[in-house]
Structure 1
Amino acid sequence: MQAVVQTIRDLVEIPSPTGFTVHALTYVENRFKEEGITYKKLEKGALLAMLPGKSSRIRLLTAHVDTLGAMVKEILPTGRLSLSQLGGYAWTAIEGENCLVHKMDGQTVSGTIVFHHSSVHTSRVTNTEERSATNIEVRLDIRSTTAEETRVAGIEVGDIVTFDPRFVHTETGFVKSRHLDDKASVALLLELVKKWKTLTLPHPVHILISNYEEVGFGGNAGFSEDVAEYIAVDMGALGEGQHSDEYTVSICAKDGSGPYDLALRHQFTRLAQQHTIPYKVDIYPYYSSDASAAVHAGHDVRHGLLGPGIESSHSYERTHETSLQATYDLLDVFVKEPMNDENTL
């Protein structure tokens, strides 16, 4: 898993919130070029890689390179910035985080995301006031005490704000970072294509690296009408009442968008059992994926969802090498299998 972990690190250290994914997509594109993988760019900026197979019916796997982030909503009279979220998260999940403001000229200004009344020595509400868009600010690392001074530095409304991922790989096998959702899955697919390109696959495998998943419309267009199976490779959701963990591959039975294809789910679980791959089947109550977005867009596909278990999603996230390995192994055996209607479950 060392190659996968290194690729995760490469990816999370490239800022790519929704709407600002060009640099991460360039990294993925260069990886496809290095491996001699046929691919094309879609109009929304996503990448679609294509591996040949014996059948005309295509199996599509997708993972998204876009992450959470923010935009400058307002330059405050104090010279600080208020934010508009890119993607959905709790304001408490970014409080205290270092960040970069990406200016129109391509340069960046560093800062820290803070609560307006951040000092306990000067305010009684520091520990009690609910965090919201009205009181979370960016404290810039420039000398500015007015909106005019901040604008002179080249910062303007609409500039992208990205969060420090703080990647850590522990000796005990944990991977800790922001944006493991879904760059862990992108890394898995980038490592797997090295192997799959040498095989004669039962079906063509197309790999869609999408870039608008966090806002609901990443992988809903741009793929062939011959796609019969659409598999989102995305994080398993951990928490109270959940079955998933950080040590297995999570197979989703249902999320907030509804149930996933039952035959596909049974195929995933059967393959995991046959190959002794640790797995958990789970339901994610507040979740949707690019696979569900494709179905909602009207595509006639069987859709599925699996991925590594990610703790503290949309915050400072964590997974383990064993979960990455289990996801890698299940995807690897899955693409070598005929489709469900050509196979006995």
Structure 2
Amino acid sequence: MLFNESYFYELAKDILTTPSPSGYTHQVIEKVKAYADDLGLKSTKTNKGNLIVEIEGIDTSKTLALSAHVDTLGLMVRSINSDGSINITTVGGNQMPTLQGEYCCVHTRDQKAYTGTILSVSPSSHVYPDCRQKGQTEDELVIRLDEIIHSKEDVLALGIQNGDFISIDPKTTITENGFIKSRHIDDKISVSIIFTVFKYLLEQNQKPQHNVKFIISTYEEVGHGSAHLPCHIDRMIAIDMGCIGKDLSCTEFDVSICAKDSMSPYDYDMTSELINLAKKHKLNYAVDIYPFYSSDASAALRAGHDIKAALIGPGVHASHGVERTHIEGCKNTMKLIYAYLTEVTF
């Protein structure tokens, strides 16, 4: 099968570079809805801002939910200092040391945007003897705005206030040899993967075995993205990043199949089906345990939904920092999703 790589890259770069910290996702959801409209797919927004995209299956009596999230890590204005620098609070589980020196943007409630830089409270080695020690926590980081300001009052006059969202520059780069480098690959890359699979299905005039509802969630990074499911769901596969590192077998070239995360094992039958499909189609895959991880499927299970659930995704290095994956891991994930949609009945 030949997935449309140019479509995948275009979509991925578009949404990766659209600011969307958890709670500030309206712009990216509108973009994703436009991609659904372009494919002729029905989509609806939930009350809290998730987008549900639907594809009718051969057997319309049962429904498989796919989920991926477009919300990302970010920051908010906690307070403004007398010199005009901005104190921050984290949105989601940022690796705080990786933020020092990163460019950012403050988004005001009256739709203005101001650029700045995230700096340590001791930002100069020529001035501060503790420069190398500071910047490890949110209390040791501030925002330096790219505006002519001298006081807290100058910042307030710009329309910036406590509670404004701050997005972090993703620095999205796609290399000639297929690496995708960016913040927020978790989990915008999975949204791009699923849309690429949908596009292929439509071009081949194929239907999935069962109805599919694709939940694009907007609060996953803070724990309740798909806690509520929109209708009766029989099975759910969360498509999210695969972990790479200590004690894990996944690489950036694999599709990762998670057998257990920090909450619970995933459904035995579904996980086995995914492993068997990966073997059957000779995919590069890994089966791993994620000890410090939860997903949209975890949120749905915690909320009490009577579903079978599984978790897969492309291997992503340096999660919640400056992340990286590879087109081969993404394609292996596409192939596994496609196989599950078209071959598995329940």
Structure 2 matches for 1:61-210, cutoff 5 A? 61-129=66-134, 131-197=136-202, 198-210=205-217
Structure 1 stretches of 4+ with a deviation exceeding 6 A read none
In structure 1, what residue type is equivalent to 2:10? Q
Query: Could you tell me which residue of structure 2 aligns to residue 305 of structure 1?
Result: 311
Residues in 2 aligned to 1:246 and 1:30: alpha-carbon distance in whole angstroms: 29
Q: Are 1:28 and 2:32 an aligned pair?
A: yes
Please tell me whether residue 268 in structure 1 is matched to residue 274 in structure 2. yes
Displacement after TM superposition at 1:196 (Å): 2.8
Residue number in structure 2 paired with 1:10? 14
Q: Which amino acid aligns with 2:15?
A: L
The alpha-carbon deviation at position 145 of structure 1 amounts to 2.1
Residue of structure 1 in register with 2:286 after alignment:
280
Give the C-alpha shift of residue 130 in structure 1.
Answer: 5.8
Instruction: State whether residues 60 and 230 of structure 1, in contact with CA within 8 Å, keep that contact through their aligned partners in structure 2.
Output: yes
Conserved in 2, the CA contact under 8 Å of 1:53 and 1:205? yes
Which one of the candidate residues 233, 237, 242 is aligned to 1:236? 242
- Check the 8 A contact 1:179/1:317 in 2, yes or no: yes
1:20-48 CA-partner distances (Å, limit 9, x unpaired): 00000000111111111012111011111
Answer whether contact 2:259 2:289 (CA < 8 A) is retained.
yes
Q: d(CA) in 1 for partners of 2:23 and 2:98?
A: 21
Q: 1:133, CA displacement in angstroms? A: 2.1
CA distance in 2, matches of 1:270, 1:14: 37
Report the Cα offset of residue 50 of structure 1: 1.3
Gaps of 5+ in 1: none
For 1:255, the equivalent position in structure 2 comes to: 261
Q: How far apart, CA to CA, are the structure 2 residues paired with 1:159 and 1:257?
A: 32
Aligned to 1:259, what secondary structure does the other structure show? coil
TM-score by length of 1: 0.96
Q: Secondary structure at the match of 1:291?
A: helix
Aligned to 1:51: 55
Q: Distance in 1 between matches of 2:238 and 2:51?
A: 15
Percent of residue pairs bearing the same amino acid type: 37
TM-score (norm 2): 0.96
What displacement does 1:164 show?
A: 0.6
- 1:169/1:228 CA distance change after superposition, 3 Å: same
Contact 1:72–1:158 (Cα < 8 Å) also in 2: yes
Secondary structure of residue in 2 paired with 1:242:
coil
- Do the aligned residues in 2 keep the contact of 1:192 with 1:328 (CA within 8 Å)? yes
Q: Distance in 1 between matches of 2:91 and 2:152?
A: 23
Question: Alpha-carbon deviation of 1:192?
Answer: 1.5
Q: Whole-Å Cα distance in 2 between the matches of residues 128 and 203 of structure 1? A: 55
- 1:201-234 deviations in whole A, cap 9, x for unaligned? 2211110101000010001114211x11110000
- Give the unaligned 5+ runs of structure 2: none
